[in-house]
């Protein structure tokens, strides 16, 4: 059977290569501006009937609130509960800056609907403080200079915490794999790996949080 | 902000199936692909039906006949770390371990990984491509370095799943339910090539749910593996991947099932590689013949002929590794 190429398919509609490339260019511009206007758009007013009552356990505290089904856990943390440690980066599960622990496992809060987080134990970077002091992973990041701009750091710290809860004595390779879901635009990876290794050593010798 | 939808999270499969009977509902397994698609406006939906609170869809357990049952919402992390899977169905553990990132493996489900939407940048971007109901595939004359070398026909995506080729190689079967019926779909029949329909990825109807995967007991002499090559060695989709499930009798390959990822719009069964190694010992000549067979008949696009060398090297390397 002769295969049908897209060019054959498009022939009837008069699409030329030049015209196609032109439309791709225009589409890219439209995509860029469209994305920007979407990000700034004020959400339409929601009928209270469409809100759902949920109880979320975050850093050991139970919060009862009304949410829209489309709200992500990240949105609720930042915009409703003022827990702004978790950062909004790509908002599509590609950068890791929104990482939180869900029942001790690192997950992306940007890809988790708030309604799906009910009944789970959520831990954000704020929950890793010991009283007013930094937790051991946070301290290790500070001591090893494991950041430059710091935007990805809360997600990195929470990912490291999740790694150490599942594997308290990771090898360097396991640290690199465990931290592979978090991007650092400044490229502080070498120091991040050292910080995580140091935090693991601290727990091994009983100095952990 | 995502487009609006209503959300149901029933505690039983029966309730979920009833809710899916309505039109335009979408299934939420772990949500990683669904939320991404909604965010990028690949599609919208009136109603999201979540499977995350349904206990009967979870778990991994041996079956009475020596096989294995994997619940549809078992996470990729659970599968990657399961001792019986690593030991007896190695290709599946190999595959689950290299899907995406730790966070996505903690959240993503095995059935969701099989049923995920394509990753083609035109499909995910603001292009009304053929697969989204438009007129043509933009990749064919556009940027196609990540696209297919086999099975392209009007649409030139590659199927993004790593677990699908591993499950297909090991003969896994999906158990599928709707409100009115239950059926079995072998994983190697689950995906729809564009020559049949370029606008659907699986044979599943919108009201159907994968409830579990069933693996037959591994035959004596079975060895299996999965490896993919990526642009970066973490958190990336396959440029080229191969799942092997070979049954050895001494040094001789008695039977073989070989599926490629990153090659075609569906997990691509390479009957050419299977034929090249079946009945043979995996000596250097046989491996060289199998590596050539892997890319025989390939139809690379303008930007992805490099994949031929990747597949040749990958198939040769994996056959050497599995030979032991």
How far apart CA A186 and CA A146 sit, in angstroms, is 10
Query: Cβ contact (<8 Å) for B31 and A112?
Result: yes
- Contact across the interface for B52 and A116, Cβ inside 8 Å: yes
How confident is the prediction for chain B on average, in pLDDT?
97
CATH number for the domain formed by residue range(s) B71-171+187-205+220-324: 3.30.390.50
- Whether ipTM tops 0.90, in short, is yes
* Assigned superfamily of A129-209: [2Fe-2S]-binding domain (1.10.150.120)
Residue A14 has pLDDT above 50, yes or no: no
A52-74 residue pLDDT tens: 999 999 999 999 999 999 999 99
- Is the pLDDT at B191 greater than 70? The verdict is yes
Place of tokens 């650092």: A184
* Residue B5 to residue A70, Cβ atoms within 8 A: yes
pLDDT of A23 over the 50 cut: no
Residue of B25, B102, B149, B155 to mutate when probing chain A, most A C-beta within 10 A: B102
Please determine, for residue B84, whether its predicted confidence score (pLDDT) is greater than 80. yes
From the list A30, A43, A178, which residue is nearest B102 (CB)?
A178
Ranges of each domain in chain A: 49-126, 129-209
Nearest CA distance, B248 vs chain A (angstrom): 33
Confidence of residue B69 (pLDDT cuts 50, 70, 90): very high
SS3 A137: helix
- Closest approach of chain A CAs to the CA of B138, in angstroms? 8
Looking at residue A205, its pLDDT comes to 77
Q: Is the per-residue pLDDT at B266 higher than 90? A: yes
Q: What mean pLDDT, rounded, does chain A reach?
A: 84
Of B4, B102, B234, the CB nearest to A70: B4
Q: For an interface test with B, which of A7, A8, A52, A93 has the most B Cβ atoms less than 10 Å from its Cβ? A: A93
- Give the pLDDT confidence score for residue A4 in this predicted structure: 53
| Among the partner residues A5, A27, A182, nearest to B127 by beta-carbon distance | A27
Angle at B72 between CA B71 and CA B77, to 5 degrees: 80
* Contact assessment for residue A184 and residue A147, using Cβ atoms and an 8 Å cutoff: yes
Q: How far apart are CA B42 and CA B15, in angstroms?
A: 27
Cβ–Cβ below 8 Å for B130 and A6 = yes
Cβ neighbours of B51 (radius 10 Å): 26
Query: What pLDDT is attached to residue A206?
Result: 64
Averaged pLDDT for residues B51-58:
98
A7 has a chain B CB within 8 A of its CB:
yes
Pick B126's closest partner by Cβ from A4, A31, A105. Answer: A31
Looking at domain A49-126, its CATH superfamily turns out to be: Beta-grasp domain (3.10.20.30)
Q: If you average pLDDT over residues B234-244, what whole number do you get? A: 95
According to the model, what pLDDT value does residue A45 have? 62
Number of Cα atoms under 13 Å in the Cβ half of residue B280: 18
A112 touches chain B (CB under 8 A): yes
Contact between chains at A181 and B154 (C-beta distance less than 8 A): no
Q: Using CA atoms, how far apart are residues B80 and B93, in angstroms rounded to an integer?
A: 5
Nearest CA distance, A206 vs chain B (angstrom) = 27
* Chain A residues touching residue B135 (CB < 8 angstroms): 9-10, 13, 15
Question: Which residues in chain A touch residue B103, judged by CB atoms under 8 angstroms apart?
Answer: 93, 96, 99, 106-108, 159, 181
Which pLDDT score, from 0 to 100, does residue A9 have?
45
- Looking at chain B, list the stretches that DSSP marks H as alpha helix, in order from N- to C-terminal side: 13-20, 32-39, 76-80, 83-88, 90-97, 102-107, 110-115, 121-124, 163-169, 271-277, 284-295, 306-323
Model confidence at B137: pLDDT above 80: yes
| CATH architecture, domain defined by B1-51 | 2-Layer Sandwich (3.30)
Residue numbers of A between 60 and 89 with CB closer than 8 Å to B: 68-70, 72, 75
Residue B106 has pLDDT above 90, yes or no: yes
- Decide if A72 contacts A114 (C-beta within 8 A): yes
Read off the pLDDT of residues B150-174 as tens digits, 9 standing for 90 and up: 999 999 999 999 999 999 999 999 9
Closest chain B residue to A107, measured at CA: B103
Domain ranges of chain B: 1-51, 71-171+187-205+220-324
> Smallest Cα–Cα separation from B214: which of B116, B111, B120, B140?
B111
């Amino acid at each position: 059977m002769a295969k049908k190429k897209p060019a054959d398919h498009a022939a009837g509609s008069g699409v030329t290569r030049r015209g196609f490339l032109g439309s791709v260019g225009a589409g890219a511009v439209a995509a860029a501006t469209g994305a920007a206007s979407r990000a700034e758009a004020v959400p339409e007013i929601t009928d209270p009937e469409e809100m759902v009552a949920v109880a979320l356990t975050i850093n050991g505290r139970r919060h009862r609130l009304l949410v829209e089904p489309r709200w992500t856990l990240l949105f609720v943390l930042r915009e409703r509960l003022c827990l702004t440690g978790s950062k909004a980066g790509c908002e599509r599960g590609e950068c890791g800056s929104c990482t939180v622990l869900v029942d001790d496992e690192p997950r992306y809060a940007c890809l988790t609907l708030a309604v799906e987080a009910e009944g789970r134990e959520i831990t954000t970077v704020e929950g890793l403080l010991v009283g007013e002091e930094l937790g051991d992973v946070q301290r290790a990041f500070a001591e090893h200079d494991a950041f430059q701009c710091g935007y990805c750091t809360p997600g990195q710290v929470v990912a490291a915490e999740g790694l150490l809860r599942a594997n308290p004595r990771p090898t360097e390779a396991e640290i690199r794999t465990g931290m592979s879901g978090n991007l650092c635009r400044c490229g502080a990876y070498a120091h991040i790996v050292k910080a995580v290794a140091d935090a693991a050593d601290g727990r091994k010798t009983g100095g952990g949080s | 902000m995502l487009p609006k939808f209503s959300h149901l999270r029933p505690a039983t499969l029966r309730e979920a199936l009833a809710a899916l009977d309505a039109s335009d509902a979408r299934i939420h397994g772990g949500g990683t692909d669904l939320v991404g698609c909604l965010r990028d406006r690949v599609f919208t939906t009136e109603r999201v039906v979540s499977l995350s609170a349904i206990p009967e869809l979870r778990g991994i357990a041996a079956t009475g006949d020596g096989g294995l049952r994997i619940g549809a919402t078992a996470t990729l992390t659970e599968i990657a770390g399961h001792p019986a899977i690593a030991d007896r169905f190695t290709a599946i553990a190999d595959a689950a371990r290299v899907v995406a990132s730790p966070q996505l493996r903690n959240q993503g489900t095995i059935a969701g990984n099989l049923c995920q939407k394509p990753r083609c940048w035109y499909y995910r971007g603001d292009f009304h491509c053929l697969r989204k109901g438009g007129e043509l595939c933009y990749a064919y004359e556009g940027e196609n370095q990540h696209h297919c070398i086999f099975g392209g026909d009007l649409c030139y995506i590659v199927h993004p799943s790593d677990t699908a080729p591993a499950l297909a190689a090991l003969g896994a079967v999906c158990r599928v339910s709707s409100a009115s019926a239950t059926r079995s779909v072998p994983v190697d029949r689950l995906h729809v090539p564009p020559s049949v329909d370029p606008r659907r990825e699986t044979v599943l109807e919108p009201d159907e749910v994968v409830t579990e995967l069933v693996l037959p007991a591994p035959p004596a002499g079975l060895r299996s593996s999965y490896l993919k090559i990526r642009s970066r060695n973490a958190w990336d989709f396959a440029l080229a991947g191969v799942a092997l499930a070979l049954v050895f009798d001494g040094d001789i390959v008695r039977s073989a099932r070989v599926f490629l990822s990153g090659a075609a719009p569906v997990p691509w069964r390479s009957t050419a590689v299977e034929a090249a190694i079946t009945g043979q010992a995996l000596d250097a000549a046989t491996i060289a013949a199998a590596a050539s067979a892997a890319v025989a008949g390939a139809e690379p696009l303008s930007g992805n002929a490099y994949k031929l060398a990747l597949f040749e090297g990958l198939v040769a390397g994996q056959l050497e590794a599995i030979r032991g």
